[in-house]
Amino acid sequence: MSKTLIQKIFENHSESKANVGDIIDVTIDARVARDFGGVNVVKNLEENNLSIHDSKKTFFTFDCNPGGCDQKYAANQHICRLFARKNGIKVYDINRGIGTHLAFEEDLISPGETFVSTDSHANIMGAIGAFGQGMGDLDIASAFAHGKVWFKVPPTAKIVLKGTPSKTASAKDIVLKMAKDIGANGLLGYAAEIYGEYIDSLSLDGRITISSMATEMGGIIMLFPPNDAVLEFYRKNFRKDVEPVFADKDADYKQTIEIDIDGLEPQISRPGHPEDVVDVKEVYNTKVDSGFVGSCTNGRLEDMRTVAKILKGRKIAPGRILKIVPATDKVWKTCLDEGLITIFKEAGALIGSAGCAGCAAGQIGQTGKGEIAVSSGNRNFIGKQGKGDIFLASPATVAASLVAGFITTSNNIPDRSASLEVPITKKQTVEKKKKSIESPLKVEGRAWVIKKDNIDTDMIFHNRYLSITNIDEMGQYAFDNLKDYENFAQQVKRGDIVIVGKNFGCGSSRQQAVDCFKSLGIGVIIAESFGAIYERNAINSAMPIIIAEEITKKIDDKDTLSVDFLTGEINDKAQGKTYQAKSFSKVQREIYERGGMLEE
Residue 434 lies in a domain: no
Q: What pLDDT, on a 0 to 100 scale, did the predictor assign at position 426?
A: 58
What values do phi and psi take at 50, rounded to 5? -100, 145
Contact 185, 152 (CB under 8 A): no
Residue 430 lies in a domain: no
Neighbouring C-alpha atoms within 13 Å toward the C-beta of 331: 29
Q: For residues 558 and 552, what is the distance between their CA atoms, to the nearest angstrom?
A: 12
Same domain, yes or no, for 307 and 231? no
**Which value, to the nearest 10 degrees, does the dihedral of the CA atoms of residues 514, 515, 520, 522 take?**
40
Number of domains in the chain: 3
Helix H, strand E, coil C: the string for 126-168 is HHHCCEEEECCHHHHHHHHHHCEEEEECCCEEEEEEECCCCCC
Q: For residues 227 and 563, what is the distance between their CA atoms, to the nearest angstrom?
A: 81
Last residue of a domain, one of 375, 404, 433: 404
Contact 465, 513 (CB under 8 A): no
Collapsing DSSP states into helix, strand and coil, what is residue 501?
coil
Q: What pLDDT, on a 0 to 100 scale, did the predictor assign at position 419?
A: 81
Same domain, yes or no, for 183 and 205? yes
Q: For residues 516 and 96, what is the distance between their CA atoms, to the nearest angstrom?
A: 39
- Average pLDDT by consecutive 10-residue portion of the chain (600 residues)? 94 96 97 89 94 97 78 86 97 94 95 93 95 92 96 97 96 97 94 95 93 93 93 92 93 96 97 94 96 93 98 96 96 98 98 83 77 92 83 97 97 89 58 61 97 95 88 96 96 97 93 96 97 94 96 97 97 96 96 90
Q: What pLDDT, on a 0 to 100 scale, did the predictor assign at position 73?
A: 80
Q: What pLDDT, on a 0 to 100 scale, did the predictor assign at position 201?
A: 86
Cα 308 to chain centroid, rounded = 25
Q: Any alpha helices (H) in 405-557, and if so which ranges?
A: 457-460, 471-474, 488-491, 512-520, 532-540
pTM of the model: 0.82
Q: For residues 515 and 596, what is the distance between their CA atoms, to the nearest angstrom?
A: 12
Q: What pLDDT, on a 0 to 100 scale, did the predictor assign at position 298?
A: 94
Same domain, yes or no, for 113 and 182? yes
Q: For residues 375 and 390, what is the distance between their CA atoms, to the nearest angstrom?
A: 7
Q: What pLDDT, on a 0 to 100 scale, did the predictor assign at position 123?
A: 93
Same domain, yes or no, for 94 and 191? yes
Same domain, yes or no, for 228 and 276? no
Q: What pLDDT, on a 0 to 100 scale, did the predictor assign at position 473?
A: 95
Same domain, yes or no, for 218 and 320? no
Residue 286 lies in a domain: yes
Q: For residues 14 and 26, what is the distance between their CA atoms, to the nearest angstrom?
A: 5
Query: Left if phi > 0, otherwise alpha if psi is -120 to 50, otherwise beta: which for 502?
Result: beta
Collapsing DSSP states into helix, strand and coil, what is residue 348?
coil
Q: For residues 454 and 366, what is the distance between their CA atoms, to the nearest angstrom?
A: 35
Burial class (CB in 10 A: 0-12, 13-18, 19+), 79: middle
Same domain, yes or no, for 277 and 193? no
Same domain, yes or no, for 70 and 197? yes
Contact 548, 580 (CB under 8 A): yes
Residue 556 lies in a domain: yes
- Report how far apart, in Å, the C-alpha atoms of 549 and of each of 533, 546, 552 are: 19, 10, 8
Same domain, yes or no, for 453 and 335? no
Q: What pLDDT, on a 0 to 100 scale, did the predictor assign at position 361?
A: 59
Same domain, yes or no, for 18 and 156? yes
Strand ranges, E, within 470-582: 497-500, 524-527, 545-547, 560-564, 569-572, 577-580
Q: Report DSSP letters for 222-251, one per residue.
A: EEPPP-HHHHHHHHHHH----------TT-
Structural domain containing residue 307: 267-404
What are the b/e assignments for 417-450, b being 16+ CB within 10 Å? Answer: bbeeeeeeeeeeeeeeeeeeeebebebebbbbbb
Helix H, strand E, coil C: the string for 55-97 is HHHEEEECCCCCCCCCHHHHHHHHHHHHHHHHHCCEEECCCCE
Contact 258, 195 (CB under 8 A): no
Last residue of a domain, one of 212, 234, 260: 260
Residue 411 lies in a domain: no
Q: What pLDDT, on a 0 to 100 scale, did the predictor assign at position 387?
A: 85
Q: Read off the CATH number of the domain in which 74 is found.
A: 3.30.499.10
Same domain, yes or no, for 521 and 377? no
Q: For residues 548 and 526, what is the distance between their CA atoms, to the nearest angstrom?
A: 7
Q: Minimal CA–CA distance to 123: which of 191, 221, 9? A: 221
Q: Minimal CA–CA distance to 59: which of 111, 116, 104, 19? A: 116
Same domain, yes or no, for 255 and 277? no
Last residue of a domain, one of 229, 260, 291: 260
Residue 427 lies in a domain: no
Residue 418 lies in a domain: no
Q: For residues 516 and 190, what is the distance between their CA atoms, to the nearest angstrom?
A: 51
Residue 88 lies in a domain: yes
Burial class (CB in 10 A: 0-12, 13-18, 19+), 467: exposed
